Amino acid sequence: MNAVEIKKLTKKFGEKTAVNNISLEIKDGELFGLLGINGAGKTTTLRILSCLSKATSGEAYIYGKSVSKDTKEVKQMINISTQETAVAPNLTVRENLIFIGGIYGYGKQESIKKADKMIEDFSLSEVSGKKAKLLSGGWQRRLSIAMALITEPKVLFLDEPTLGLDVLARRELWGIISKLKGKITIILTTHYLEEAEALSDRIAIMTDGNIKSLGTAQELKKSVGCEKFEDAFIKIAERNI
């Protein structure tokens, strides 16, 4: 079964078409990259898939459940880490994790157990007692992803997870995301081309709400005869304007 199926999905904001009749299938356990320039429709697509926004037409399914009709079931299967850090600032790292466990219906003891596991998996122990607002951007982003994973989602949406981070913090997060590959389905939006190339099993390049090209990084480079992924991206994006 496909983890995600998108069928003729369209999203309009008044006259502006943010997502234009896209169709896509993402396999179970795949790390799928959505690439595009600003306003390409990446975040809007992600918002529709994560039940944060309603499509104007078309439909999307998460493990066979409709994101517009079976919202309750879909929300239990997914989690999201947004491009802005979404943490409770005055709660400690551990409290933030326990809080999200409780919100997804786990009992207190289970939430604590899961929080401790996340602290270990994400090497958060040195900051576990610190208030989230006192953490650096890199640590906050790491916590934000841990908060998304504590609920053991089948599908994880990462919306520009390394935006604004320094190169070291970004590489550390790459390591964390890489470790998740194959275990859960991940849909990643990013502006960093090298990030998409390094992490993604397949990549879709979006411009003006359309999917212009789809394949592995190698396939995309080959399709336009470029050696560098950046050149391939530019060529694909320009070709379709």
Partner 1 sequence: MKTLVFAGRNFRELLRDPLSYIFCLGFPVIMLTVMTIINKSIPPEANMTIFSIENLSSGISVFGMTFVMLFTALQISKDRCGAFLTRLYASPMKPYEFIIGYTIPIMIIAVVQCFITYTASYIISLIIGNAISISGIFISSLVLIPSEIMFIGFGLLFGSIFNDKSAPALCSIVISLSCILGGIWLDVESLSGGLKKICQVLPFWQAVRTGRMSLNNTYDGFGESMLIVCIYAVVIYLVSITVFRIKMKNDQK
Binding residues (CB under 8 A) for partner 1: these are: 50-54, 72, 75-76, 78-80, 82-91, 95, 99-100, 102-105, 131, 147-148
Structure tokens at 26: 């993402």
**Closer residue to partner 1 in complex, CB, 74/220:** 74
Residue length, the chain? 241
Q: Provide, rounded to whole angstroms, the least separation between the CB of residue 102 and partner 1.
A: 3
CB of 100 to partner 1, least distance (A): 8
Q: How far is the CB of 6 from partner 1 (least distance, A)?
A: 17
Nearer to partner 1, 189 or 207 (CB): 189
* Minimum CB distance to partner 1 smaller for 153 or for 197: 153
Kindly provide the residue ranges of all beta strands, DSSP E only, lying in 48-165, ordered along the sequence. 57-62, 65-66, 78-81, 155-159
Identity at 80, one-letter amino acid code: I
Number of Cβ atoms within 10 Å of the Cβ of 186? 25
Nearer to partner 1, 143 or 177 (CB): 143
Q: Which strand ranges, in their side-by-side order, compose the sheet holding 16-27?
A: 16-27, 2-13, 57-62, 65-66
At closest approach, how far in Å is the CB of 28 from partner 1?
21
Least separation in angstroms between CB 134 and partner 1: 12
Report the distance separating Cα 95 and Cα 98, nearest Å.
Answer: 5
| Amino acid, res. 122 | F
Nearest-approach distance from CB 86 to partner 1, in angstroms: 4
CB nearer to partner 1: pick between 207 and 209: 209
Q: Are 19 and 7 in contact (CB under 8 A)?
A: no
- At a CB cut-off of 8 Å and minimum separation 6, what does 131 contact? 89, 90, 91, 92
Q: Which is nearer to partner 1, 191 or 212 (CB)?
A: 191
